[in-house]
Amino acid sequence: MADADARNRADRDLILAAAREAGRIALAFRDKGVRAWEKAKGDPVSEADIAADTYLQGALKPARPDYGWLSEETADDKSRLSAARSFVVDPIDGTRAFLKGRPEFVVSIGIVEAGRPVAAAIYDPSEDVAWDAVIDGGARRDGAAISVSTTRTLSRARLMGDPGRLPGIRALGATAETVNSVALRLARVAEGAFDGLIAERPKWDWDLAAGALLVTEAGGYITGRDGAALDFNAEPPRQPAPLAAGPALHALLRERLSQGDM
């Protein structure tokens, strides 16, 4: 167990340092002007995304040559499926916000083993804030331990979610707001700045892997909206629309969802 803990901490330190540098690369591109295009309709990417991804591959793959690789900006060659551990990377999560000059984007890196995240790093270059976690080792913001909200009611719950899609919960007194980056939403739930997250659509592994570990290591739950566990690095690397919160609020939100009254 001591060897496993040390390995997880070493992996956490590796990806945290890499996330910080990738964030600096992204900001440098934005400061000088950045070229962007669409991978598919409504799915933007920029030269900053590609440059950050290229840097991360160069920093992480040689350091852990036996690890698999899954990134939003790299073609998936499926070799990750036979690797014991895999990097799961979003070099810029929140590209739309990034291109609009809004500070709602992060670098998100997780390491997954046997379907579960074991190390995570999320870096917000606009605010110079970093969150990290290791499995069974807690979650941190800039090195200080964090924990999820202990809110047990919906009446004043602050949620990350689309306000227009949550009329039932808002009628009970909850509030809802959102940011472009899913990973940033999960980090804010993990640190207790928001009480929970409700997403409407499925997400890719690179959207959730790092943030999911932050939430669970901060004492919260994250599942699909139906309560199903998340299983990472499968084929396809796609997760159901997530629901995240502290234990008591997660149970309340699950009950409301099961009744179809949101």
What's the token pair of residue 51?
């440059």
Residue 111 bridge partners (DSSP): 87, 119
Rounded to 5 degrees, φ, ψ at 248 are -70, -45
Q: Check if the beta carbon of residue 224 is closer than 8 Å to that of residue 187.
A: no
| pLDDT tens digits for range 207-224 | 999 999 999 999 999 999
Which pLDDT band holds residue 172 (cuts at 50, 70, 90)?
confident
pTM here is: 0.96
Which pLDDT band holds residue 40 (cuts at 50, 70, 90)?
confident
Q: Which residue has the higher pLDDT, 172 or 124?
A: 124
Rounded to 5 degrees, φ, ψ at 162 are -75, 115
Q: What is the pLDDT of residue 1?
A: 64
Q: Where are the alpha helices (DSSP H) in 88-204?
A: 95-99, 167-171, 182-190
- Identify the sign of the CA torsion 98, 104, 108, 114: negative
Mean pLDDT of 24-34: 90
Q: What is the pLDDT of residue 257?
A: 87
Question: Over 90: is that where the pLDDT of 49 sits?
Answer: yes
- Rounded CA separation 15/120 (Å): 7
Instruction: Specify the range with the lowest mean pLDDT, choosing from 56-65, 121-130, 132-141, 150-159.
Output: 150-159
Closest CA to 161 of 71, 89, 256: 256
Q: Which residue has the higher pLDDT, 89 or 262?
A: 89
